[in-house]
Amino acid sequence: MITRVKSILFDNLHIKLFAVMFAVLLWMHAVTRGESEINFVVPLELKDIPAGMAVVGDAPPSVDVRIKGNESFLKGLSSRDIGAFVSLKGAKEGESAHMLTSNNIKAPYGISISRVSPVDVSIVLDAVAEKELEVRPRVTGKPAKGHRLKGVEADPPKVMASGPKRYVDRLVSVQTQHVDIEGLTKSTESTVGLVPPQGVILETGKVTVHVGITRAGG
């Protein structure tokens, strides 16, 4: 019995080894056949921003991701199926560098990440501050002949702004969009938008502007 088993295992051993190697190569060819690579430009999401902190400046809006997988499967993908993120958990005030790897990419199962560009990004955090800003209406044009502008008021006259401290601290007022008074013969009011300063969030986006028009000499 033992002799028979040895004969089965070792007779024509080189032929059997060749058959095993050929089977492995055939399997590898079947697995890799049809594989392809493709690039996607996807938005970069900033996650886990620490409480009381805000991002200063413009972080990279997107990253270039090269993925590899079955060609027929890749053809059905779009940039909506791929995601990129940076976790800011534990980040401190100031500038911090974050390396981008395959761990920062969300992709369907079975897809491998070949490359991410850029390979690192710098994010600047600042403490969040609040401040009340005066609303300054802007008017264009002139009242009708024989009339004059008596006054302009905003309601509310002040609005609260919030954002990175370095931005908020240097602000004293916020302007409205232009209010056209060309040819007016009587007082009027209109709802207009505010022009938010860069990097700052206003508690409201619109105010009411009261324009007083009176007769010249009145």
DSSP 68-107: EEEHHHHTT--GGG-EEEEE-TT--SEEEEEE--GGGEE-
Domain that holds residue 96: 35-118
65 pLDDT exceeds 60?
yes
pLDDT tens for each residue of 44-64: 999 999 999 999 987 888 999
- pLDDT at residue 128, rounded to an integer: 95
d(CA 49, CA 55): 8
Asked if residue 210 and residue 132 are part of one domain, the reply reads yes
Asked if residue 151 and residue 83 are part of one domain, the reply reads no
How far lies 174's CA from each of 50, 122, 183, 207, in Å? 28, 30, 26, 11
- pLDDT at residue 79, rounded to an integer: 78
30 pLDDT exceeds 50?
no
Asked if residue 134 and residue 112 are part of one domain, the reply reads no
Is the separation of the CB atoms in 157 and 144 below 8 Å? Answer: no
In a domain, 18, yes or no: no
Asked if residue 141 and residue 191 are part of one domain, the reply reads yes
